[in-house]
Structure 1
Amino acid sequence: MSTSFLPLHERSLSLDHEGLIQLLARESNLLIIQDLDGVCMGLVKDPLTRVIDPNYLEATQLFDGHFYVLTNGEHIGKRGINSIIERAYNDDNLVKNRGLYLPGLAGGGVQWQDRYGEVSHPGVSDQELGFLASVPQVIETSLKGFFSQDNYGLDYSTILDCIQATVLDNKVSPTANLNVFHEVFIDQENDYLKLQQRMKQLMDELLENAQNKGLKNSFFVHYAPNLGKDKQGQEMMQLAQGKDSGTTDFQFMLRGAIKEVGILVILNRYYYQKTGKYPLGEGFNVRQAPRKHEELLSLIKERFDPDQMPIIVGVGDTVTSKAITNDDKLSFGRGGSDRGFLELIQEIGKEFKTGNIIVYIDSSDGEVKNRKPLKTEKINDEIRVIEGPGDPRDQHDPLTLNVVFPGGHKQYIQCFREAAQSRKN
């Protein structure tokens, strides 16, 4: 049965990009909250090689006040999005003067930036920043130690080059990114699994070291992709299997720096723009917020005027659902670094009856081969998406992907630019 008559927020895996363009162009009370890697840029093994389309950056300006990013990456540093934007124009002053930086939250929610590149870290202490600054060197030393025991058939220069690409010295989210090692270990699955386990062990050791320095509740580890959370609320690493790299990013992050909490920070600022008042107070930051979805939703219901609530469009590319078999019982590990914030946006839409839209970008065609592509089929002369990014047996996934882009970030950017131009006109 056709679903084309349904509003976008009631559809699943829809290819009605024209309908999305019309909504983005015409809605005055609109809030776009968007991830970055894989959404407006292709996924690459080495983050230093990322590029961004200047035409996309120009389009975001036409949504000024209605568009914010929410990413686990960072705005600043040599691997940050700001450096990528500056390279795209080859003129740092032009980018700053024209306000071409992307506003919103990075580092999972602890790094705020406006359009002109003014960055702050609300709620973060100097002691925490000091500990984070030491982490990249610890990761590098650990990797060198790992390969000093066994070079796994790699020559010394290859190991050093891979370590250089693996250690991401981000200010508030230092990371071990194993993409390049998965590529060199593509036919040595057991060796790559050993490296995955070593990185997990290192992250546990870092948490223990922080606790010993009086920072017991300061940090957590984000695995990307992951299998959701265990009963203790800790993210579960996804082991590699065949050509699927499993978890590649081991991010040491500040507690509270989870994307869904960032929704409240962005909403708080959006309401201030509209009403002149901050529902949660001017100084509210992610580290003051509750962690559980039901508590976050309860706080929003309590403090935000429903008459002012915008239509929120959440855009991401990392949503997983993997089958897990224990004692012949089938369950599903539902994860992905975008799942949490997309689910909360969906729940807000249902609670406030605003018709929030969840947009999914298929980033499986990038250099990083750990994403399941959308499955399309021609039915009655019409291309339809018949299978999403999760396990098809997972019939009770709470997250509905309303509008999807099988063509990846380039297809999404084209749609976004058309919407921006229509909004301007």
Structure 2
Amino acid sequence: MVSAHPLLTESCLSLKTEQFFNLLTEIENVLIIQDLDGVCMGLVQDPLNRVIDLDYVKATQQLDGHFYVLTNGEHIGKRGVNGIVERAAGGVEIAQAQGLYLPGLAAGGVQWQDRKGHIDHPGVSEAELQFLAAVPQRIQACLKAFANQYLGAFNPERVAGAIEASVLDNVASPTANLNTFYGLLREQNQELLYGTLQQAIAHLMTELLQEATTQGLSDSFFVHYAPNLGRDEQGLERLKPFASGDSGTTDFQFMLTGGVKEAGVVALLNRYYGQRTGTYPLGESFSVRTAPQTLEGLLDLVQCHFDPQWMPVIVGVGDTVTSQVEEREGKRVVRRGGSDRNFLQLVQNIGQALNIGNVVVYIDSSRGEVKNRRSVKVEQVNGEARITENPCDPKDVDDPLTLNLVFAGGHQEYCTLFKRAAAVRGF
């Protein structure tokens, strides 16, 4: 086993990104597990407008076998990441021939892709895929009903464009992405209507879960809110309500059970062991759909089945971590969430349990078009730049997740360093 530099792994909210460069260039046995939107691409209201730096994509090839993506979005489809890569590369043929597709897990962990763009959905049934195929039409109908009831005075073309941008017809995780609607409502000074729209889409998601149950698919799906406020007592994610100047939850994803990023960490680690040792600790057919649903269960799985001798330094990279502290009847209530929180927490927990220097990297994506996350605050303290406010609620003083390293400059700063490190590692 190896460890990253202690100044990096033991730090909290460090801005010393050069230590990350040293980790990537000096440690051979390293596994990078990285989110996409907000991390290597800027956040935009319309997912169709996303762009990716082709040089960054090529840089990931230099870490082939040590780099995987883990996203709640999808690789394929009209709004998948593959289309963004293909546009940057100059066409599908070039992307395929040069192996430019980003390897890893999408749809929370149920959609696997290799560098050539070969797709698989481990553990997913045809009946489940058929149910998912009908969800985009239901989302579209819900948005049209909302528009007919509340937006009669709006420009019809703008409304139609917002509906088009909001329905993500993903194969394994159909989604309502309401960023464009939020921008339109703010522009028309009707921001308060966004909360009504949130509730309408949330109600639709509940209806869909009930319909799945009647079709014998009661354990097949769940709803992922992004950003969210963690889980309630039943294990269901909490919607982050609209507040003035903060859209709260914008993405409502109808997802396959088991498709959570923390389970994806274990699935990717299983693949990493398989390619390096020839043996898959959990079996070659292991998928997130059969994984434990708790951080404790996933950590136990790793401790019981993965030989510590081959355990890499795991680097988790994300941009969505939230918390909210409320006072209710004299009691302090803390709700922690964010679509990257649990997978980053598991990376940290594995490092602590096995005494490995795993690293949690946070990308500040707050400067994009999407205004639903708190930015970090950087100030000069005793002549040194330091973070004085993190992305979570300032009153949340005992958050178990430690953000070791922060890229306050967002995805541009991260991609620049990544490309520089890949150029060194590639030789």
TM-score under structure 2 length normalisation: 0.97
Distance in 2 of aligned mates of 1:89 and 1:101: 10
Aligned partners of 2:399 and 2:195: how far apart in 1?
28
2:243 maps to amino acid:
Q
Q: Which amino acid aligns with 1:96?
A: Q
For the residue of structure 1 that corresponds to 2:254, the secondary structure is strand
CA spacing shift, 1:272–1:385, aligned 2, 3 Å: same
Which deviates the most, 152-161 or 411-420? 152-161
Q: Whole-Å Cα distance in 2 between the matches of residues 279 and 13 of structure 1?
A: 34
Corresponding residue of 2:286: 284
CA distance in 2, matches of 1:184, 1:89: 32
Q: Does 1:224 align with 2:204?
A: no
Q: Which residue of 1 aligns with 2:76?
A: 76
Structure 2 residue aligned with 1:272: 274
SS at match of 2:72: coil
The corresponding residue for 1:168 is 168
Tell me whether 1:122 sits opposite 2:122 in the alignment.
yes
Following superposition, the deviation at residue 268 of structure 1 comes to: 0.5
Structure 1 length normalisation: TM-score? 0.97
Deviations 1:216-242 (A, max 9, x none): 000000000000000110000011100
Asked if the contact 2:320–2:339 (Cα under 8 Å) also holds between the matched residues in 1, the reply is yes
Aligned to 2:103: 103
1:318 matches 2:320: yes
Partner letter of residue 26 of structure 1?
E
For 2:151 and 2:78, the matched residues in 1 are separated by: 29
The whole-number CA distance in structure 2 between the counterparts of 1:15 and 1:148 is: 48
Residue of structure 1 equivalent to 2:197 = 195
Residue ranges of structure 1 left out of the alignment (5+ in a row): none
Tell me if the contact between 1:229 and 1:236 (Cα under 8 Å) persists in the aligned partners: yes
1:21-420 pair list within 5 angstroms: 21-151=21-151, 153-186=153-186, 187-420=189-422
Q: CA deviation at 1:16?
A: 1.1
What is the RMSD of the two structures over their aligned residues, measured on CA atoms?
Answer: 1.1
Residues 322 and 333, structure 1, Cα contact 8 Å, conserved in 2: yes
* 1:154 shift after superposition: 1.6
Cα distance in 2, alignment partners of residues 305 and 163 from structure 1: 50
SS at match of 1:185: helix
Is the 2:12–2:405 contact (alpha carbons within 8 Å) kept by the matching residues of 1? yes
The question of whether the paired residues in 2 share the 8 Å contact of 1:16 and 1:403 is answered with yes
**TM-fit CA distance, 1:6:** 4.7
Percent identity between matched residues is 57
In 2, are the aligned partners of 1:272 and 1:278 still within 8 Å (CA)? Answer: yes
Contact 2:6/2:357 (CA < 8 Å) preserved in 1?
Answer: no
Deviation at 1:135, TM superposition (A): 0.2
Work out the CA distance in 2 between the residues paired with 1:237 and 1:244.
13
Tell me which residue corresponds to 2:13.
13
What SS class does the counterpart of residue 7 from structure 1 fall into? helix
- Structure 2: distance between partners of 1:155 and 1:51: 28
Structure 2: distance between partners of 1:286 and 1:349: 21
Extract unaligned runs of 5+ from structure 2: none
Letter in 1 for 2:324: K
Question: What CA distance in whole angstroms lies between the structure 2 residues aligned with 1:349 and 1:309?
Answer: 10
Q: CA–CA distance in 2 between the matches of 1:297 and 1:152?
A: 52
Contact persistence 2:212–2:218 (CA under 8 A): yes
Deviation by residue 1:358-399 (Cα, 9 ceiling, x = unmatched): 000000000001111101111232211122100111111010
- Equivalent AA in structure 2 for residue 381 of structure 1: G
